[in-house]
Chain A
Amino acid sequence: MTDQNNPSNLQPDDPDTTGHTWDGIQEFNNPLPRWWLWCFYLTIIWGVAYTVLYPAWPGISGATAGILGYSTRAEVSEEIERFDALNADLRTQLTEVELASVNREDSPELYNFALQAGSATFANWCSQCHGAGAAGVQAAGYPNLLDDDWLWGGTLEEIQATIAHGIRNEEDPDTRWSEMTAFEGILSDEEISHVVNHVLSISGQEADATLASAGDGVFLDNCAACHGDAGMGDRFLGAPNLTDAIWLYGGSAEAIEETVRHSRFGVMPGWSGRLSEAEVNATALYVHSLGGGE
Chain B
Amino acid sequence: MATNDAAPKLYAAQEPIFPKRVKGPFRNFKWALMIFALGIYYITPWIRWDRGPSLPDQAVLVDMANRRFFFFWIEIWPHEFYFVAGLLIMAGLGLFLFTSALGRVWCGYACPQTVWTDLFYTVERWIEGDRNARLRLWKAKWDFHKWRLRVTKWIVWMLIAVATGGAWVFYFADAPTLLRDLLTGEAAFVAYATVGFLTATTFIFGGFAREQICIYACPWPRIQAAMMDEHTITVAYRDWRGEPRGKGKKRREMAEAAIASSRLAGPTIRGTEPGATSAPEVEAPGDCIDCMACVNVCPMGIDIRDGQQMECITCALCIDACDEIMEKVGKPRGLIDYLALTDETNERAGNTKVPVMRHILRPRTLIYTAMWSAIGIGLVVALFIRSEIDLTVAQVRNPQFVTLSDGSVRNTYDIRIRNMTAGDATFRIGLTSEEVLRVDLEGSQDLMVEVPADETLLQRVYVIARPEDQASGQERTDFRFWVEAFGTEERAYQDTTFFGRGPQ
Contact = CB atoms under 8 A, between A and B. Distances in A.
Nearest to B209: A35
Contacts of B399: 131, 133, 135, 144, 146
A131 B3 CA distance: 80
A148 B443 contact: no
Interface in A1-56: 1-3, 7-16, 19, 29-37
Chain A CB within 10 Å, residue with most, of B1, B396, B444: B1
A61 to B, nearest CB: 35
Interface string B266-310: 000000001100000000000000000000000000000011100
Contact of B8 (A8, A31, A133, A241): A31
- Say what secondary structure dominates the interface of chain B: loop
B212 A35 contact: yes
Nearest to A149: B405
Contacts, number: 105
B14 interface: yes
Interface string A58-78: 000000000000000000000
Contact of B10 (A1, A3, A19, A31): A31
Nearest to B443: A104
Contacts of B443: 103-104, 289
A132 B405 CA distance: 22
Contact of A291 (B9, B274, B306, B412): B412
A147 B12 CA distance: 78
Given A1-B239, A8-B275, A31-B9, A16 B398 contact: no
B427 to A, nearest CB: 14
B404 interface: yes
A289 B402 CA distance: 15
Interface residues of A, number: 41
Interface string B387-411: 0000000001011001111110010
- Say what secondary structure dominates the interface of chain A: loop
A3 B275 CA distance: 10
Contacts of A8: 1, 275
Given A144-B402, A147-B405, A289-B460, A10 B14 contact: no
B419 to A, nearest CB: 15
B344 interface: yes
B462 to A, nearest CB: 6
A182 interface: no
B213 to A, nearest CB: 11
A14 B407 contact: no
Contacts of A32: 10-12
Interface of A: 1-3, 7-16, 19, 29-37, 103-104, 131-133, 135, 144, 146-149, 204, 241, 244-246, 289, 291
